[in-house]
A and B are shown apart, each in its own frame.
Chain A
Amino acid sequence: MDNKLLEIKNLSVQYITSDSVVKAVNNISLTIGRGESLGLVGETGAGKTTTALSIMQLIPNPPGKIVNGEIILENVDLIKSSKKELTKIRGNKISMIFQDPMTSLNPVITIGEQIAEVIRLHNKLSKAKANIKAVEMLELVGISEERFTDYPHQLSGGMKQRVVIAIALACRPELIIADEPTTALDVTIQAQVLDLMEKLKKDLNTSLLLITHDLGVVAEVCDKAAIMYSGEIVEYGTLEHIYRNTKHPYTIGLFDSIPKFSENVKRLKPIKGLMPDPSNLPDGCNFASRCPYKIEKCTKGDIPVFEVEEGHFVKCIKYDSKEGV
């Protein structure tokens, strides 16, 4: 496909400490096309943020290490890139929006300056010109020019997140990685920020990797979704595949756990048990101990990925066509 922007192939990331090896991400592969948005969904500890940090090459090393795989952005393998090359790519081609706007801004620099700083870092512009561009960015995210000289503490949570978005978009990146961008915000403010992101994405044709635990947010913003569970992508496909033709037992369990708006359910159906310890993963399928469909084969060897319909991938032997289960 020509339209491929980012491709992750067989990525594995581990955090190696003196007494254990934490397998945070295990052999995942995914692609993001131009202008496409992919939702990466999973619970705490599933490896979502580690995946995002690997793309940015920001895994703290030590203890973190990319042990295997390729991350290809427009024919360049980011894992093999030099520091200098990466500095050019970060903020310019890929930028990241973090979860907590209260801690991702510098509290002692005005918001205008923080936006101008990014612009000047990647473009040869005078301070005055960069400031003009920064004002434009502020207006783009719906903050008036007068707030240019405000410090982060003078803004509300929603406005801070807008500033973070303005910084991320300042150099017109091709890919934005948003790590739980609205989790810290109230629903009405979340709706405003999601609306803004969607609009900007459409106008600028930016690709988006949205990391979240909220399947509702994914349904509103994304084109595709990948469900992560203990370091692996267990199901991957278009929203139609994931929401209407849910296949993996974990994804099914996830949907069943959410209290529904549209119907009245007396009791929720939680997934029993807990996610396995990433420093001591079981043989076979990581979800097996919690899975209602477990068979003997689930606890042995590697579980292959099956394409159940075009573009819909499931990592579960239940869908092995040879088995005919």
Chain B
Amino acid sequence: MSTLLEVNNLKKYFKTAKGMLHAVDDVTFKIDKGKTLGVVGESGCGKSTLGRTIIQLHEPTEGQVIFEGKEITNMTKREFDSVRPQMQMIFQDPYSSINPRMSVAQIISEPLIIYKRFNNNKDMIKEVAKLMDTVGLASRLANSYPHELDGGRRQRIGVARALSLNPKFIVCDEPVSALDVSIQAQILNLMQDLQDERNLTYLFITHDLSVVKHISDHILVMYLGNMVEFASSEDMFKSRLHPYTKALLAAVPIPELGAKKERKLLKGEIASPINPKPGCRFAARCDFARDLCYEKQPEFKEVHEKHFVACQYVKEINNI
């Protein structure tokens, strides 16, 4: 299996009045072609910033992003122009991520016009019709405006627009969070079908753990800009090792009777990402925290095969 995207020690800091905000701090991973990496974490953990930094919507503070063997982080704007169409994004809110003054056909054709993919209008209209069909939008909607459509259909427009340039890699930033479950299932199925047909690679950002389990091959858990745990989806749900991942999964309400387990509540709340203190960023909320946790930042290391955890006491906590 060949690697499509490689991220090495990626950092993104923002300057704020109160100090440096460490949104993404030292993130490293690889995604193979045709696979899905799910990124999970709570609000403010840096998952959206990570997605945006990877496709160069933010300039990284440090680190590399390598796409198909070429480093894109040091490319000039002109060089990057040829890579950009291959990396697209689907946004969370189908209400604010599409222009309300453009018709469905105009929204989907805009990338095609910008990248001058067609020199005659007829071919382009054909292509738009094909894209609409692919994502399950009826052709009669071509001249409708977004406000006439429901959330599910709007998100289909977002998907069609992302697909229009035939990308290899799509960052999906909470694409189904604003949708009702019955519609969410329709969109998730659509995205899986598209992945199978076109061999697409996804970076799937979400806070919904049941969705991430369903769609991902690998899962990365983030906390305050740091990587906390990385494993295959199966491994992660069978044996999670980091105390934060454990608490996160235990907090999810399960729609089954008798599923109620001894709920271990995580105390406190996520700390500020501005000028974080040294040491483990989760320490203040962790039941197992000891002095060392407050002094030294834990290394992100392989505990089992292809199962990485950032915790000094991971072996003791899990009796390995």
Q: Which of B236-252 contact A (CB under 8 A)?
A: 237, 247-248, 250-252
Complex contact A274–B152 (CB within 8 A): yes
> Which of A219, A257, A267, A272 contacts B181 (CB under 8 A)?
A257
Closest B residue to A244 by beta carbon equals B257
Give chain A residues whose Cβ lies under 8 Å from the Cβ of B43: 186
Q: Which one, B186, B247, B253, contacts A270 given CB within 8 A?
A: B186
For residue A291, give the distance in angstroms from its CB to the closest CB of chain B.
Answer: 12
Say whether, besides A219-B257, A261-B210, A44 and B266 are in contact (CB < 8 Å).
no
What is the minimal beta-carbon distance from A309 to any residue of chain B, in angstroms? 16
Q: Is A248 an interface residue (CB 8 A)?
A: no
Residues of A contacting B237 in the complex (Cβ-Cβ under 8 angstroms): 261
Q: Given A244-B257, A258-B255, A261-B254 in contact, is the A213-B180 Cβ separation under 8 Å?
A: yes
Q: How far is the CA of A219 from the CA of B263 in the complex (A)?
A: 14
Partner of A243, one of B181, B207, B255, B263: B255
B237 to A, closest residue via Cβ: A261
Rounded to whole angstroms, the CA-CA distance of A269 and B185 in the bound complex is 7
A44, B252: Cβ atoms closer than 8 Å: no
Rounded to whole angstroms, the CA-CA distance of A270 and B182 in the bound complex is: 5
Of B181, B251, B252, the residue contacting A261 (CB under 8 A) is B252
A65 to chain B, nearest CB (A): 26
Max count, chain A CB within 10 A of own CB: residue among B182, B210, B259, B265: B182
Assess the A186–B207 pair: CB atoms within 8 A: yes
Proximity string of chain B (12-53) to chain A, C-beta cutoff 8 Å, 1 when within and 0 when not: 000000000000000000000000000000110000000000
Chain B residues with a Cβ closer than 8 Å to the other chain, count: 40
Return the CB mask of B182-225 against A: 1 if under 8 Å, else 0.
11111011001000000000000001011101110000000000
Contact bitstring A37-52, B, C-beta under 8 A = 1, else 0:
0000001100000000
Q: Which residues of B contact A271 (CB under 8 A)?
A: 182, 185
User: CB distance A270 to B185 under 8 Å?
Assistant: yes
User: Are B269 and A219 in touch, CB under 8 angstroms?
Assistant: no
Q: A256 to B253: give the CA distance in the assembly, Å.
A: 16
Docked-complex contact B207 and A254, CB < 8 angstroms: no
Chain A residues with CB under 8 Å of B181's CB are 43, 213, 254, 257-258
B42, B180, B188, B253: the one within 8 Å of A259 (CB): B188
Q: At the interface, yes or no: A61 with Cβ under 8 Å from chain B?
A: no
The residue from B42, B185, B260 contacting A220, defined by CB atoms under 8 A apart:
B260
Q: Tell me, yes or no, whether A57 is within 8 Å of chain B by CB.
A: no
Docked Cα-Cα span, A240 to B257, in Å, equals: 7
Closest to B285 in A: A188
The reply to whether the CB of B150 lies closer than 8 angstroms to some CB of chain A is yes
Residues of the B chain whose Cβ atoms lie less than 8 Å from the Cβ of A158 = 269
Say yes or no: A219 contacts B266, CB within 8 Å.
no
B255 touches A43 (CB 8 A): no
Contacting pair A43 B182 (CB below 8 A): yes
Interface size on A, residues (CB 8 A): 44
Query: A178-191 interface mask toward B, CB cutoff 8 Å, 1 = contact, 0 = none?
Result: 00000000111111
Query: Taking the complex as formed, is B256 at the interface, i.e. its CB lies under 8 A from any CB of chain A?
Result: yes
A156-B269, A271-B182 given as contacts; is B188 within 8 A of A215 (CB)? no
Residues of the A chain whose Cβ atoms lie less than 8 Å from the Cβ of B192: 267
Check: A103 CB closer than 8 A to any chain B CB: no
Contact partners of B270 in chain A: CB under 8 A: 186
Asked if A303 CB lies within 8 Å of chain B CBs, one says no
A159 contact set on B, CB distance < 8 A? 269
- The CA-CA distance from A66 to B183 in the complex, in Å, is 30
Please pick, from A195, A253, A257, the residue contacting B265 in the complex, using a CB distance under 8 A.
A195
A265 within 8 A of B: yes
Considering the chains assembled together, what is the distance between the CA atoms of A271 and B252 in angstroms?
24
Given A195-B263, A216-B253, A265:B214 Cβ within 8 A: yes
Which chain A positions have C-beta within 8 A of B263? 191, 195
Give the distance in Å from the alpha carbon of A49 to the alpha carbon of B256 in the complex.
24
Q: How far is the CB of A123 from chain B (nearest CB, A)?
A: 33
Contacts of A22 in B (CB 8 A): none
- By a CB distance below 8 angstroms, the chain A residues around B266 are 188, 191-192
**CB proximity to B under 8 Å, residues A213-245:** 213-220, 239-240, 243-244
User: What residues on A are CB-neighbors of B215 within 8 Å?
Assistant: 259
Closest chain B CB from A298 CB (angstroms): 19
A192 touching B210, Cβ below 8 Å: no
The distance from the CB of B80 to the nearest CB of chain A, in whole angstroms, is 34
Considering only CB atoms, which chain A residue lies closest to B260 in the complex?
A: A220
B180 to nearest A CB, angstroms? 4
With A191-B251, A191-B265: A253-B210 Cβ-Cβ less than 8 Å:
no
Contacts of A256 in B (CB 8 A): 185
CB B300 to nearest CB in A, in angstroms, measures 22
A322 on the interface (CB 8 Å rule)? no
CA distance A244 to B252 in the complex (A): 20
Asked if A255 is an interface residue, CB under 8 A from chain B, the answer is yes
B residues with CB within 8 A of A: 42-43, 150-152, 180-186, 188-189, 192, 207, 209-211, 213-215, 237, 247-248, 250-257, 259-260, 263, 265-266, 269-270
Could you show 14 A-B contacts with beta carbons less than 8 Å apart?
Answer: A43-B181, A187-B209, A191-B263, A214-B253, A214-B255, A219-B257, A220-B253, A243-B255, A258-B255, A259-B188, A260-B210, A268-B214, A271-B182, A274-B150
The 4 closest A-B pairs by CB, nearest first: A216-B253, A270-B185, A259-B214, A215-B255
A159-B269, A195-B265 given; 14 more Cβ-contact pairs under 8 Å: A187-B248, A191-B251, A195-B263, A214-B255, A216-B253, A216-B255, A219-B260, A243-B255, A243-B256, A258-B210, A260-B214, A261-B210, A274-B152, A274-B183
